[in-house]
Copies of this chain bind each other. A is one copy, B any other.
């Protein structure tokens, strides 16, 4: 065996982006937590974790820093897991506020903070994590963050002390919400847990894995552990998409097209749904509190890799393709002359639809329309349809639902449906016969046809 270095191609791309932005000098260190102002402004790390479980890094991707606001989506996930969406929404909204991370605007009437990605909302979600006491609550949070990252995480006690000592605005927000009823837990206890949660130490590599876990439907692709259920991961990503970047959320989604969350320590996480997680780290911040280099690098990566959420995937091939070629001569060798004649005369009673690629709405719809009429040379209209899914890479719920409905409808009309699925995935329900090869399907249909009067 000889090495080719093919696996380094992704790392090479990250290095190019890292080089491009590492020299940029804009931004200021966070000052609102004194300890953060001591960070090295030159640090810059990028990491990508694939849903396949591989991680690629460039620069200072293994330098630990406090997680700060990057903890918010993951603790929100925990609260969703504990209480469910509707219960959580009673206490915290899901609307972008058009304001910064430390906004004190609460919803008139309900007193709800606007969303779980600003401090106000994050304090509430922290308080919603189920635990007998604050120590246990924090341990659950630390364990959850660790499960997302795939390793046990520590706390930076100096940053915690600094944050607890100077967190006037967060205290103010918490008391406002307690007064308004949206925060029902003990204020000081909740704040202690919140400040500690913000002081958990992570690296860009950790962030990439954490984001990849969300991108992978809640399953950590490195450890294989299901950290949260798929619907929780989806909801967290949806809220990140509209609220994760504070008052830059809209332009961020416009430019980068990826659900993301930034933190005042200079970190940034982004998720490519079903694909990867991205973790970046560079302390200098812009006026909105987002890391200057991290934002620029993430947008460049999104642009280079064409990852925009609104990018319409190019379908190179149609969902339907010509019927799979079968060695007809060899097949017919097994038939009697009478059978061969009958197959030649009535063979059109056997239709084939071969499907390739993903079967989403549009593909499923093409299939449906392609069988809107079927040849039926037999007097009673009986006929056969081979649905060849051997090249169908995946069938989303809608496709499965529509194909299931199709099969049911056809069977009731004496159309016998046979599915070819070499991977035996059981993609479509209610089917009369299944095979793993097209040859077998064809033979079965022919046998059936010959068996008719």
- B-contacting residues of A (Cβ < 8 Å)? 1-7, 9-10, 12-13, 50-52, 54, 85, 89, 93-99, 104-105, 114-115, 168-169, 171-176, 178-179, 187, 215-217, 230, 233-235, 237-239, 241-243, 247-251, 253-254, 257, 259, 272-276, 304-317, 356-358, 360-362, 365-366, 368-369, 371-376, 381, 383, 391-398, 401-402, 405-406, 409-410, 413, 415, 423, 425, 427
A250 CA to B238 CA in the complex, in Å?
Answer: 8
B93–A96 CB distance below 8 A: no
Which residue in B1, B176, B365 is a CB contact (below 8 Å) of A375? Answer: B1
Copies of this polypeptide in the complex: 4
7 residue pairs of the A-B complex, CB under 8 angstroms, read A7-B368, A10-B402, A234-B308, A241-B253, A276-B362, A307-B361, A316-B423
Within the complex, the shortest CB–CB distance from A440 to chain B, in Å, comes to: 14
Contacts of A317 in B (CB 8 A): 393-394, 423, 425
Contacts of A85 in B (CB 8 A): 254
A406 and B6 in contact (CB under 8 A), knowing A95-B251, A305-B401?
Answer: yes
A306 and B397 in contact (CB under 8 A), knowing A1-B376, A50-B365, A312-B234?
Answer: yes
Contacts of A169 in B (CB 8 A): 175-176, 179
A contacts with B: majority SS: mixed
A237 and B310 in contact (CB under 8 A), knowing A10-B365, A52-B365, A369-B7?
Answer: yes
Within the complex, the shortest CB–CB distance from A92 to chain B, in Å, comes to: 11
Contacts of A114 in B (CB 8 A): 98
Which residue in B52, B95, B274, B413 is a CB contact (below 8 Å) of A4? Answer: B413
Contacts of A362 in B (CB 8 A): 50-52, 274-276
Within the complex, the shortest CB–CB distance from A238 to chain B, in Å, comes to: 4
Within the complex, the shortest CB–CB distance from A331 to chain B, in Å, comes to: 15
B306–A394 CB distance below 8 A: no
Within the complex, the shortest CB–CB distance from A377 to chain B, in Å, comes to: 10
A97 and B94 in contact (CB under 8 A), knowing A216-B312, A305-B361, A311-B273?
Answer: no
Q: Which residue of B lies closest to A179 (CB)?
A: B168
Within the complex, the shortest CB–CB distance from A73 to chain B, in Å, comes to: 12
A22 CA to B250 CA in the complex, in Å?
Answer: 34
A410–B4 CB distance below 8 A: yes
